Amino acid sequence: MLFAPHSRIVFIGDSITDCGRARPFGEGLDAPFGTGWVNLVAGLIGEAYPERRLRLVNMGVSGNTTRDLLARWETDVTRLSPDWVACMIGTNDVWRQFDLPLLEEIHVGPDEYRANLESLVDRTLPTVRGMILLTPFYLETSRSDAMRARMDLYGSIVRETAASRGTLFVDVQAAMDRLVGAQAHSSSISWDRVHPNVAGHMAIARAFLDAVGFAWGGERG
């Protein structure tokens, strides 16, 4: 697996990452990682690679956009001196354009989204071993749906940023499409097509772990 022994991995994003994680830092006793995909990643890594003594920290905050990450990056990422940073952001950048269409001052358009994401990556890469960028997603199978089409655009920006900066890339939308495709309806995964149930969170965790070379039942290197 990609993470060397004693590495610190910081996970940052919005409510899909937050999931009720501990404050001020998502680590420690009881349920520090929340109830979502970061918790699943922590459990699987902790069981499979206990000798590596990896330190995972969940710094997701519900409702965040890339603007919010820019504002808190220094305190919630840089000061933690991570070896790796995993960032999944963009859902609210897109969603606010649809659920609050008249509040244009809070909308994060594609150009700003790209600039914000590139800024976060550029200021971080010189100080870490690497970053993992995960796409936002929308649990809608019709790609002609306005919000799904917009989310796909933002996902393509994540893909392009990862390619241009040499970071790892995780296509969470593709993982969710596969999961929803096997169900009768997306509501079996998410009541609002944004916040997934445990199966949806496991799909995110699996996509992330595949990207970092997690060994599913095989030899662990």
| Catalytic residue ranges | 15, 192, 195
Burial label for 62, CB within 10 Å (0-12, 13-18, 19+), is middle
Q: Where are the alpha helices (DSSP H) in the chain?
A: 15-18, 37-48, 66-76, 91-99, 110-124, 146-165, 172-181, 198-211
Start-to-end CA distance of the chain, whole Å, equals 6
Strands of the 84-88 sheet, one edge to the other: 55-58, 8-13, 84-88, 130-134, 168-170
CB 5 within 8 A of CB 51: yes
Q: Which residues of 133-162 are buried (b: 16+ CB within 10 A; e: fewer)?
A: bbbbbbbbeeeeeebbebbbebbebbbebb
How remote is the C-alpha of 202 from its chain's centroid?
13
